[in-house]
Amino acid sequence: MFHKYLLRSPLRELGSRAVLLFCLLLCGCGGSGLQEYVFTGTAGYPQPSRQISGTVFYQSLLPLSELRPDQSAVAPAVLDFANPVSRPCRFVRVQLLDRNGEILEESHTGGQGTFSFSIPHQPGEMKIRVWAETVELEGESAPIKVVDNTRGGAPYAADSDWLDEQATEVTINFPTGYTLDGVQPEGAIRSSGPFACLDGILTGYRFFLEGGLDPAGMPVCVVNWSEKNRPSSGEKSDGAIDTSHFSSEENQLFILGFAAADTDEFDWHVMIHEFGHWIQFNRFRDNNIGGTHGFGEIKEPRLAFSEGFGNALGGLALQDPIYKDTSTPTGSSHTMECNLSVVDPNPGWFSEATVEAILFDLFDPVRAEGGDSNFADDLALSPSIFIAALEAQRESSALTTIFSFLHGMVQIEITPGELASLQALLAFSSPNSDFGLNSLNAFGEGETHDAGLPGVLPLYLDVTTDIDAGPFSVTLGPAEDETYNWLESGRFLRFTGDSSTVTVRALNSGSTVGSIGIILYQAGVQVEDDGDATEDENQDPFEDDIATIATRPGVIYVVSLLNLADQPSTTDIVITR
Amino acid sequence: MLTLLLFLSVPVPAKDRLPVKMSCTASFLSIRFLGDVKDVRLTIKGTGSVTGASSRHSVGTAVSGQEVQIPLNYSLGAGPGGIAVHLQGDLGYGTVGQARTFDLVSRSLDVRSRDWFEETPPMIVLPSQTIVNKRNQK
């Protein structure tokens, strides 16, 4: 089960043989101090060994909410400081060190936190070093490590006490650092924090491993956690990380740890949500444009999908439908079971709450919410279908929305009965003609719910025949207070390539407010040479925005237009070859 | 005009947040509401070297566009410190909280750079609790 290797030097080998001889002499004289031997099979005679086994635990705090899965409400969520729970440190790297700090053997724990070392006997004290780092084991574990962004990205580890020659079994425990009433005494270190982060992310990762995902070729998932990581703007190296988040720039996770305000190492729904962004970025695809968001908001569908996906993944991996996010003194919780919950007054393909509820209901146990609800929760699809849908979404020319996910899922392995249940779920999530969703096409073709907003459908306006046909006008809603990600602030265009170089130009100079941003996607992947897809304070808002791409025949291109001005903008768009 | 970098460089929080923007000076905490929020309550606590900042406030109902300023009273000690602000309010479907911290005293960059160089360890060794079973000990 464990992969072991010995670091031997000739001198140590000589020492081992001398010890062996000494032991044999002792035994011959009736000595009883050394009784354990292993047979190497090659030498043909017994060698004395030193065996140490043990278990590694960390103390965890459970987030509590009184909400029931069938209860459509928002309720407080708090950490249960009074009842810490021991959890095994699963699949973490462990080392056996001598007094000189030399590594004698390296291994890893199993799923129950147990490990075992067996080395040729040598005298002196030793200790076990446990790293906040998991190893890759097929179907069980993937490489994750927890580091401290406030100390130069240094990795976390912990040492046991020194173990003398009589030690055979050791239990290592990492305490929370809190008292039972939730106080962190002066000088107390929250040792369990990095290991809780590690185990939480591993729980999210294991949902994919159990579905058959092979992490080969993926980078180590690096999680930055510190007791200084606080909800503040500033330098990440100083702990000012704003909030728990995935940074695509660094391709790393940053998790809050500031107990006086908000700490997330035990809020696994939150951590797995962020891991969801990481795995979308590293294995699948995420066209999310970011920005602030919240339940009940009518957002552009890439953001709605990515956020709803992260929440649903947390619930599915934890098998816990109550999304809990604690903070100091109280956080909040909501259920993901309710297809139409009070937190989703505007359901549809543009709602993160709708995406969350649909994805969760597709893959959680049938009618797991209990109670006397009549939710349309008749499907319990496997994680492998979840993965296959994400892979199909990655390969789609459409952007990452709930449409491309559902289209990918329908394309693969679901039965006609499952398709009927899916359509029933969508119908249940569509309370009227404005709010809901009904399309299973990757580009949302045939969708009829427009959130009551004129001009948002069709979701992708096919402009292939508009190329070289003169300007056409688009009207976009305002982007005030970072609301550039609202549905009405953006528009998708699509066209099919033909080997020509195509230029998309937003004639901001003819607009009353200017500031249309353009992003070009080729087969769903953002094109790198669209320098005008960003706006900065130094740019004249009335300067025309231009994006150019050398097209390939038959490939579908998507243009994302975003209004970056704080007023509605009607701007002419010209697409030329 | 917005300063905007697309490509997911903007953090996308996993947290249900109140529609507010908070900022802080040495004397005031400012909260601008970007949506209507009922039953707004606010708790302020000192962190690090900041003491005497603890206070509670009830704002009542705030409407979109409204800005509230809360005067800050506190004492500064030695070393970095600031305030932790916990804001909660009813968005119509339930009470949502939001935490934010602000640094009032931070280490100067040159000191931090020097500390950084000197303090950055190859690893951070955490304390643990060890229970050992020994031979002939059952």
Please tell me the distance from the alpha carbon of residue A340 to that of residue A349, in angstroms, as a whole number.
13
Looking at beta carbons, which residues of chain A come within 8 Å of B16? 74, 294-295, 325, 332, 334, 343
Is pLDDT above 50 for A2? no
Closest Cα partner for B50 from B73, B75, B70? B75
Size of interface A-B (CB pairs under 8 A): 237
Residue A470 or B65, more confident: B65
Per-residue pLDDT band for A341 (boundaries 50, 70, 90) equals low
Element (H, E) at A526: strand A525-526
* pLDDT single digits (tens) A181-210: 999 999 999 999 999 999 999 999 999 999
A562 bridge partner residues: A490, A517
Asked whether the beta carbons of residue B8 and residue A166 sit closer than 8 angstroms, the reply is: no
Interface check B63 vs A, CB under 8 A: no
Contact A64, A77 (CB under 8 A): yes
Phi-psi region of A187 (alpha: psi -120 to 50; beta: other; left: phi over 0): left
Please tell me the distance from the alpha carbon of residue B120 to that of residue B112, in angstroms, as a whole number.
11
Query: Which ipTM was obtained for this model?
Result: 0.81
* Nearest Cβ partner for A306 among B2, B12, B124: B12
Closest-CA residue of B relative to A294 is B16
Per-residue pLDDT band for A374 (boundaries 50, 70, 90) equals low
How close A519 comes to chain B (CA, Å)? 9
Pinpoint the alpha helices (H) of A483-522. Answer: none
The whole-number pLDDT of residue A24 equals: 35
Interface check A327 vs B, CB under 8 A: yes
Closest Cα partner for A278 from B14, B98, B99? B14
The whole-number pLDDT of residue A292 equals: 79
The whole-number pLDDT of residue A36 equals: 34
Residue A109's SS3 state is coil
How close B130 comes to chain A (CA, Å)? 5
* Nearest Cβ partner for B15 among A130, A159, A243: A243
* pLDDT single digits (tens) A376-398: 788 999 999 999 999 999 999 99
Interface check A290 vs B, CB under 8 A: yes
Interface check B14 vs A, CB under 8 A: yes
Exposed / middle / buried, residue A9 (Cβ in 10 Å: 0-12, 13-18, 19+): exposed
How close A254 comes to chain B (CA, Å)? 10
How close A567 comes to chain B (CA, Å)? 10
E strand intervals along A26-181:
37-39, 46-60, 63-64, 74-79, 85-88, 92-98, 103-108, 114-120, 126-134, 144-148, 154-159, 167-174
Is pLDDT above 70 for A403? yes
Is pLDDT above 80 for A112? yes
A548 bridge partner residues: A503
Closest Cα partner for A425 from A347, A324, A309? A347
Element (H, E) at B105: strand B95-105
Is pLDDT above 80 for B93? no
Looking at beta carbons, which residues of chain A come within 8 Å of B130? 160-161, 170-173
* pLDDT single digits (tens) A269-309: 999 999 999 999 999 999 998 877 877 889 999 999 999 99
Q: Give all domains of chain A, ordered by start, each with its CATH number.
A: 1-28+61-288 (no CATH), 336-457 (no CATH), 460-576 (2.60.120.380)
Which of A300, A481, A530 to probe by mutation at the B interface, max B CB count within 10 Å? Answer: A481
Is pLDDT above 90 for A18? no
Please tell me the distance from the alpha carbon of residue A264 to that of residue A242, in angstroms, as a whole number.
13
The whole-number pLDDT of residue A50 equals: 86
* pLDDT single digits (tens) A28-37: 333 333 333 3
Element (H, E) at A393: helix A383-395
Chain A, residues 350-409, CB within 8 A of chain B, namely: none
Asked whether the beta carbons of residue B119 and residue A151 sit closer than 8 angstroms, the reply is: yes
Chain B, residues 106-125, CB within 8 A of chain A, namely: 106, 112, 116, 119-125
- Which one-letter DSSP state was computed for residue A306? H
Contact A223, A132 (CB under 8 A): no
Of A11-25, A77-91, A401-415, A546-560, the least confident: A11-25
A546 bridge partner residues: A505
Per-residue pLDDT band for B98 (boundaries 50, 70, 90) equals confident
Asked whether the beta carbons of residue B99 and residue A169 sit closer than 8 angstroms, the reply is: no
